[in-house]
Structures are given as C-alpha cells and as structure tokens.
Amino acid sequence: TPSHEVNASMDHMNKSQNMQLLQNVEYDDREHKIVVEEVDESQVTVRHEFAVGEGATYTGQMREVIDEETNQPILLKHGKGTQLWPDGAKYEGDWRNGMAEGQGTFYHANGDVYTGEFYQDRANGFGVYVHSNGQKYEGFWKDDLQDGPGKEELED
C-alpha cells in the first residue's frame, strides 16, 4: 500500500510515538483546549435504547441536569455509551454533557470508520480514519478536518 506523507515530522513515528506526541501537545483552536473531565460514577445512570431525536437511540450512561430555559430535569448522555442512527451510523465511546467527547469510534453508514479523540461532537485531536475502500489517514484533526501532522495511506 503506497503512502503519502502529509507532514514529514511524522515520517518515522509509530503509533506509540504519535500517542506520546499527542500527550505533549495542547490542542487549541483559539476558543477551547481539549480537556476531558472525569465522569463521577455517582452522578450517572445507565439507560437502554433511550430515544435521542431524529430516530436515533442511545444506550449508556446518562446524568440528570436542570434545563436552564425550562427549569425542568433532563437527561444528558454522560460517560460511556453508544448511539445508533436509523441509517446504520453508530458512535461508541465517551460522552460529556450530551456530546461525543473523549475517546470513541464513529462508524459511518457508508462503511468509513473514525477512531480517536472527539470534542463537542467532532473529531478533534489524534485519530485514524479508514475509508471503506481501504484508504487510511492517521494524524491530527480539528473540527472534523485533517489538521497538522499525519500520514495518509492510499490504495493502489
């Protein structure tokens, strides 16, 4: 499989070195830094096939919070969980305050798969995207776009 170097700085790095590089980088998009809070297990409950809109269902940890607009209790995805959409797309991983945040895997309906870091429902940080045709990009992401050092492997 031929590969195309997106950034020469990762030319000779293996995955372990990439992860070490990630640990030493503050990923900043001028509005936030990726800092994932620990989940307080005493504040979450597990729900199965909980309807979350657009026909999607969620199974996993949730916590109750008070909606600021209605002053009523609502449940937010928070902790470990899986969301499944009607088209077959699926996210498995960490959730914080109702959004995919932390480590996770998103399975696209077309067969593409992204595994890596998420922040506010988007690929942010280090991750690997494998296309259904076998092409692969391993590197850094910002708001669902390739951003920074990475390596792309192309199919013949």
Percentage of the chain beyond pLDDT 70 is 76
Give the range among 2-16, 93-107, 111-125, 126-140 with minimum mean pLDDT: 2-16
Q: What is the CATH number of domain 40-151?
A: 2.20.110
Residue with tokens 């013949």: 156
What digits encode the pLDDT tens for the residues 20-79?
Answer: 333 333 444 433 345 566 777 777 788 888 888 889 999 999 998 888 999 998 889 999
148: left (phi over 0), alpha (psi -120 to 50) or beta: left
Query: Beta-strand (E) ranges in the chain?
Result: 3-5, 45-53, 56-66, 73-84, 90-96, 99-107, 113-119, 122-130, 136-142, 145-153
What was the pLDDT predicted at 57? 94
Q: Delimit the domains of the chain by residue range.
A: 40-151
What was the pLDDT predicted at 21? 37
The residue among 125, 136, 107 whose CA lies nearest residue 18 is 125
DSSP annotation of 139: E
Average pLDDT over residues 75-95: 95
Q: What is the pTM of this model?
A: 0.73
